[in-house]
Amino acid sequence: MSECIFCQIVAGQAEASVVAENELCLAFLTIGPFNTGHTLVVPKRHAETLTDLSAAEAAALATLSQQVALAVQGSDLPCEGYNLWMANGKAAFQDVFHAHMHVFPRLKNDGFKVEVSWPHPSRAELDNVAAQLRAALEKNP
């Protein structure tokens, strides 16, 4: 997809500060880092979301994300922890529609916040949802 910036980066048609790659994925620094070392891991094939990836691509994305997290922790960059963040779809705040995992170092008082009020459904409600998900898994294993 020639208009996709991540596809352009993968093809070598756009600049990127590459961190690592494997057969199916590429990791590079984001131009809008939350903290120093904030890395994006993308599949080399264009796919919009996690569920558009093959099982092999999803596994390669997870593997490379883990390797980047280990590198962040093992480097001299400030890092007291790290987050993995993947937004899938507009409602989840995805802004580049090429699947990508954010791997970013965290510091105790870095200001990153996710404010959520978690509901606490009843066991019956949870069991009902679990049954619906099991049924969906049986249709599409």
Tens of pLDDT, residues 44-54: 999 999 999 99
**In the prediction, which pLDDT does 124 show?**
97
Amino acid at 26: L
**In the prediction, which pLDDT does 1 show?**
62
Residue 33 and residue 81: Cα distance in Å, rounded? Answer: 16
Q: Which CATH superfamily is domain 5-112 in?
A: HIT-like (3.30.428.10)
Residues in the chain, pLDDT under 50: none
Residue 16 and residue 6: Cα distance in Å, rounded? Answer: 9
**In the prediction, which pLDDT does 82 show?**
96
DSSP conformational letter for 90? G
| Interacting residues of 12 by C-beta distance below 8 A, sequence separation 6+ | none
Helices (DSSP H) in the chain: which residue ranges? 5-10, 55-74, 123-139
Query: Chain-centre distance of CA 63, in angstroms?
Result: 11
